[in-house]
Structure 1
Amino acid sequence: MKHSRLAGITTACVAGLFTLGACSTNTDAAQPSEEPDQESSAPADDGRLVEEKDSYVIGYSQSNNAEPYRAQLNTQLEYYVSQHDNLELLPIADAQQDSSRQVSQVQQFVQQGVDVLVVSPNESDPLTPPVEQACAAGIPVIVLDRTVKTDCIAAFIGGDNVAIGKAAGELAVELLPDGGNVVELRGILSNQPQIDRDEGFREAIAANPDIKIVKDQDAKWLKEEGTKVMQQWLQSGDDIDLVYAHNDPMALGAYLAAAGAGKTEDIDFIGIDGLAIPDGGIRAVQEGQLAGTFVYPTGAKEAVDTITKIVDGEEFEAEQILPTTAVTSDNAEEIYTEYDFSAKD
């Protein structure tokens, strides 16, 4: 699906400036409304989403800089923006997992009149009204990773978290051919990626009825929380054969707890993110701490590519679902080299 103009900035969306849900909603993915002709929407003048000028200012609202995945996303976004002389990225706003803070940050970007707004929502519902405010102000919005519940955005860029969860579940089935007890470390319960990664995993392990999820709990995407929850589970005396964590930091936090209890030889650990950084998931697979992880692309390059098309008045994909790569001991070294961002100029 391609867009040459922000179709969602409609009368309904403008009227919804202060009303949640004024634009049509989609709980699975934020994408343009269904219309007879979806290839491109009719331009109001020259078809551009932003006024043509010498330079453009980008505002970016990040959900939580403290998560390694998001810190890497920030680094990559800054790098790719720096490759374009006509783009300026304002200091990245860190919501610190606080949705009310993020709402205020997005509203501030709107008041500043940025040319393009990029948002990685902490939660979908609270971020929908301020995103609609940006749309109503004529600011193209690119949403990364987690959707918002409005169709007025210019583009959604992210992975298929149900598919990633399913791939993790298929790996669990391979690791536990005779069945076993699984514990699941979730992200924030209201986050859509957490919901999707759980759904896909459960669908896949259903292939072996002897695999049981005996405990699951949110650990807020954080390593230290993963350690804390895993320590509690181990102290309860439950038999645990495999840990499935919705990101690598939580998986590695669980691994630390198991190491402290002398249990790492008895338990397999699966994560998601697959960052090519010294303390990331790919290196953990190489070192035998994780049985596997899955590369979850940051979308930084695709976001900047989309921004350049927006400011140049070119067509772009309104929905960009990024592929994942499974990382095991067989390919971890190769994948690390491929995704090692530190090797870039």
Structure 2
Amino acid sequence: MIRISIGRLAVAATALVLVAGCASTTGSSGAPASNGAGQQFVVGYSQSNNAEPYRAQLNLQLEHYIKQYPNLKLLPIADAAQDSGRQVSQVQQFIQQKVNALIISPNEPAPLAAAVQQACAAKIPVIVLDRSVNSDCYSAFIGGDNFAAGQKAGQLAAQLLPNGGNVVELQGILSDQPQIDRDRGFRDGIKSNPKVKILANREAKWLKDNATTITNQWLAQGLKVDLVYGQNDPMALGAYLAAASAGKQKSIKFIGTDGLAIPDGGIRAVQLGQLSGTFIYPTCAKEAADTVEALMTGKKVEKKTTLSIEAVTPANAATLYQQYDFSNKK
């Protein structure tokens, strides 16, 4: 006869409960099977590159908005540092940790596809921010209208050069959908002024230092540049630094995109006259937090959400800076 003490049974039962409690509680749809009282859902986020000011601000805002929901816990944000292989590993680690929800800002669309499929197979809801991924097995995509951002920048360039002129374009990572859409939009926007010509374009990978180097090269080659379009503000400001070092910052106009309300961001640069204009591209942080909470509590969410773009001009820059300044948020 096998004898098992009541105490040992109690210990075994407790261990089973603890093991079950560590597992992801998602049903077949990717949403939680139940929302027990006091249950906390763990969220993983893989960011494409913390070094970009836009993404650093996104991180701060996401941490803030996630904290507004006591039932959500955001793990330390994983930084892919523009390394797609590293980002795939980060996503796979989150899957192994059995997070309840996964947020991804893809570095590139193709390499992340298989990892997103793995998360989908593990019944983990995936929220994709800003940049697309080559898979439709996600719960929600949230991003701004990149074509509109480029188009508005092109229209502004056409207005700033009424008699025509030469434009150079500093591009993000060429394979990124935002880069592709902003480029298409910009080329469509300048059509309103046939005298405006794109003289050169180069990949600067969204980085200020790269943009400075490339612009220095263009100026050293003797290119007559009338306007620089940087697909984000750091690249536009990198070009401004290069022009300033050559004493040409007053003869060249600069346009960016991002419109961050931070001391070295695009809105302040418009106020200072360094940029002729920029466009506020939403961080999507609040919408991401709201979407995660909705998914965790069994609510339906939109498969795709596209947020609008707002122009920053010398006339409205001060007002917009106050409106979007996040530094006073608790």
Is the shorter-chain TM-score for this pair beyond 0.5, marking a shared fold? yes
Specify the alignment match of 1:303 in structure 2. 288
Does the CA-based 8 Å contact 1:63-1:94 persist in structure 2? yes
Matched, 1:332 2:317: yes
AA partner of residue 286 (structure 1): Q
AA partner of residue 98 (structure 1): D
The ranges of structure 1 where at least 4 consecutive aligned residues each deviate by more than 3 angstroms after the TM superposition are: none
SS at match of 1:206: helix
Give the TM-score of the pair, scaled to structure 1: 0.86
Task: Mark the structure with the bigger radius of gyration.
Answer: 2
Which whole-Å deviations, capped at 9, do the CAs of 1:245-278 have from their partners, x for residues lacking one? 0000000000000000000110000000000000
Does the CA-based 8 Å contact 2:30-2:125 persist in structure 1? no
Specify the alignment match of 1:49 in structure 2. 31
Give the Å deviation of 1:48: 7.2
Matched, 1:169 2:151: no
Aligned counterpart for 1:131 among listed residues 111, 116, 127:
116
Matched, 1:293 2:278: yes
Q: For the residues of structure 1 that align with 2:320 and 2:238, how far apart are their CA atoms? A: 23
Matched, 1:209 2:194: yes
Aligned counterpart for 2:139 among listed residues 154, 157, 164:
154
Does the CA-based 8 Å contact 1:142-1:156 persist in structure 2? yes
Q: How does 1:232-271 map to 2 (within 5 A)?
A: 232-271=217-256
Identity %: 63
Does the CA-based 8 Å contact 1:277-1:340 persist in structure 2? yes
Q: How does 1:29-40 map to 2 (within 5 A)?
A: none
Once structures 1 and 2 are overlaid, which stretch shifts more, 89-98 or 314-323? Answer: 314-323
Q: For the residues of structure 2 that align with 1:217 and 1:158, how far apart are their CA atoms? A: 24
Aligned counterpart for 2:71 among listed residues 53, 62, 86:
86
Q: For the residues of structure 2 that align with 1:150 and 1:189, how far apart are their CA atoms? A: 19
AA partner of residue 110 (structure 1): I
Which whole-Å deviations, capped at 9, do the CAs of 1:173-226 have from their partners, x for residues lacking one? 110011000000000111111111000000111222211111100111111111
Q: For the residues of structure 1 that align with 2:178 and 2:112, how far apart are their CA atoms? A: 15
SS at match of 2:87: helix
Matched, 1:218 2:203: yes
AA partner of residue 32 (structure 2): V
Q: For the residues of structure 1 that align with 2:142 and 2:56, how far apart are their CA atoms? A: 17
Aligned length: 302
Give the Å deviation of 1:343: 2.0
Say which structure, 1 or 2, has more relative contact order (CA 8 Å, 6+ apart).
1
Specify the alignment match of 2:176 in structure 1. 191
Unpaired runs of 5+ residues, structure 2, are 1-26
Which whole-Å deviations, capped at 9, do the CAs of 1:68-126 have from their partners, x for residues lacking one? 00000000000111112111101101000000000010011011100000000000000
Give the TM-score of the pair, scaled to structure 2: 0.90
Q: For the residues of structure 2 that align with 1:317 and 1:306, how far apart are their CA atoms? A: 9
Q: For the residues of structure 2 that align with 1:222 and 1:203, how far apart are their CA atoms? A: 24
Specify the alignment match of 1:276 in structure 2. 261
AA partner of residue 111 (structure 2): P
Does the CA-based 8 Å contact 1:48-1:311 persist in structure 2? no
AA partner of residue 211 (structure 1): V
SS at match of 1:158: strand
SS at match of 1:278: coil
CA RMSD of aligned residues (A): 1.3
Does the CA-based 8 Å contact 1:50-1:139 persist in structure 2? no
